Amino acid sequence: MNAMPPEIHPGTLSVEALAALVPHGASVTVHKGDEADVPMALAFALVKRGVRGLRVVTLPTCAYPASGMMIDLLIGAGCVAAVETSGISLHELGAAPRFAQAVKAGTLKVLDSTCPAVYAALQAGAKGQPFAPLRGLIGTDLLRHRGDWRVIDNPFAEAAGAPPLAGAACDPVVLLPALNADVAMFHAPKADAEGNVWVGRDRDRVLAAHAAGTVLVTVEEVVPGSFFDDEAMSAGVIPAVCVSAIAVVPGGCWPMDVRGGIDLEAVRAYQQAARSDEGFASWVQAHVMRPGQGVGVRFGAAAAADAGAAVGAAGAAVGAVAGAAV
């Protein structure tokens, strides 16, 4: 895998520049999509760039329509070599077709996990711990397929007065290696002039930012001032020190909107096209690769232009912060 880029100070970039910061072969975390956290514009840019060999970990699933569509697109475009997940689908719309096809063809490595296991490993990574213990995996067949998980005796069991049974583990517990991805990527409603990112009550993106080596965020807008000046806002903020780079992409979580609404017809159209190799290729050509289409239209080029004056001063301030930090 290519070396990770040097430290990147918060500043606004184009979504293409954000995509350029994801090395071939990087481990990447993506989110489940029950919030407006799906960085679809960044995924489009990764496809256009032709990134290869990504090892994607879903936090803990990509099983909502937008998140399932995003990872399905990346898999179908050949960007992904492996996934660790507790579920990939298009939620109520059914299977993610490119994922299903890749699994059947044996072209995608899949590491099965569970939601508690993913979260336990992520929390360990965010805290700087080497591993996390999790009892609930005992007795599942996952242990036969996960050579990176370890079963040990609870070292405190005897002290608690539970003598070991003859020939049996005293109190087995599974150890999971900490999840520290090379890159965390997600969408958020807004950033401020200092490069802080507001995610509201969602803790998944906070944990992902704390655990990853590089954190790439697309936002709807950059606003003046600092979120930390408002006590009501500050609890929902990822500090700028945890954010590597930001791109302002209005509508960047399409087919979701920033309020969490979902364009199910757009997902259905993708799903229908992606059921065949030819249909998928045509969809990608029309929506991702064709000049003047895809990111520029889907993710609000006009809206970005309209918002330019509003965010200009704030964006300049972010750039100034980055320049001063360098």
Strand partners, 30: 58
316 vs 120: which has the higher pLDDT: 120
Tokens standing for 222?
């950059």
pLDDT band at 168 (very low <50, low <70, confident <90, very high): low
Classified as helix, coil or strand, 125 is helix
Q: 126 lies in a domain?
A: no
For residues 149 and 293, state if they share a domain: no
At residue 258, φ and ψ (nearest 5 deg) are -65, -15
Q: Are 209 and 311 in a shared domain?
A: yes
- Tell me the average pLDDT of the chain: 86
Strand ranges (E), the chain: 12-13, 27-31, 54-59, 80-85, 109-112, 131-134, 150-153, 172-177, 183-192, 197-198, 214-223, 237-238, 245-248
- 160 and 188 together in one domain: no
Task: Kindly tell me if the per-residue pLDDT of 4 is higher than 50.
Answer: no
Q: What is the pLDDT of residue 241?
A: 96
- Cβ neighbour number for residue 44 with a 10 Å cutoff: 29
Q: In terms of domains, do 204 and 285 share one?
A: yes
**Residue 121: inside a domain, yes or no?**
no
**Is the pLDDT assigned to residue 237 strictly greater than 50?**
yes
- Report the number of distinct structural domains present in the chain: 2
Q: How many residues does the chain have?
A: 326
Same domain, yes or no, for 98 and 147? Answer: no
Question: Do β-strands 80-85 and 54-59 pair in parallel, antiparallel, or remain unpaired?
Answer: parallel
pLDDT per residue as tens digits for the range 198-221: 999 999 999 999 999 999 999 999
What integer pLDDT is reported at residue 295 of this predicted model?
A: 41
What is the SS3 assignment for 88?
A: strand
pLDDT value for 57? 98
pLDDT of residue 302: 39
Residues whose CB is less than 8 angstroms from the CB of residue 297 and which lie 6 or more positions away in sequence, other chains included: none
In a domain, 217, yes or no: yes
Q: Which two tokens stand for residue 102?
A: 């890749």
Whether residues 24 and 36 fall in one domain: yes
Distance CA 256, CA 252 (A): 9
**What is the residue range of 103's domain?**
12-114+180-325
Secondary structure class of 141 (helix, strand, coil): coil
Q: How far apart are CA 274 and CA 297, in angstroms?
A: 21
Give the mean model confidence (pLDDT) for residues 69-90.
98
Residue type, 40: M
The least confident of 24-28, 73-77, 315-319 is 315-319
Query: Is the confidence at residue 36, as pLDDT, over 70?
Result: yes
265 and 316 both lie in a single domain:
yes
CATH number of the domain to which 58 belongs: 3.40.1080.10
User: Tokens 């500050």 map to which residue?
Assistant: 234
Q: What is the pLDDT of residues 103-150, one digit of tens each?
A: 999 999 999 999 999 999 999 999 999 999 999 999 999 999 999 999
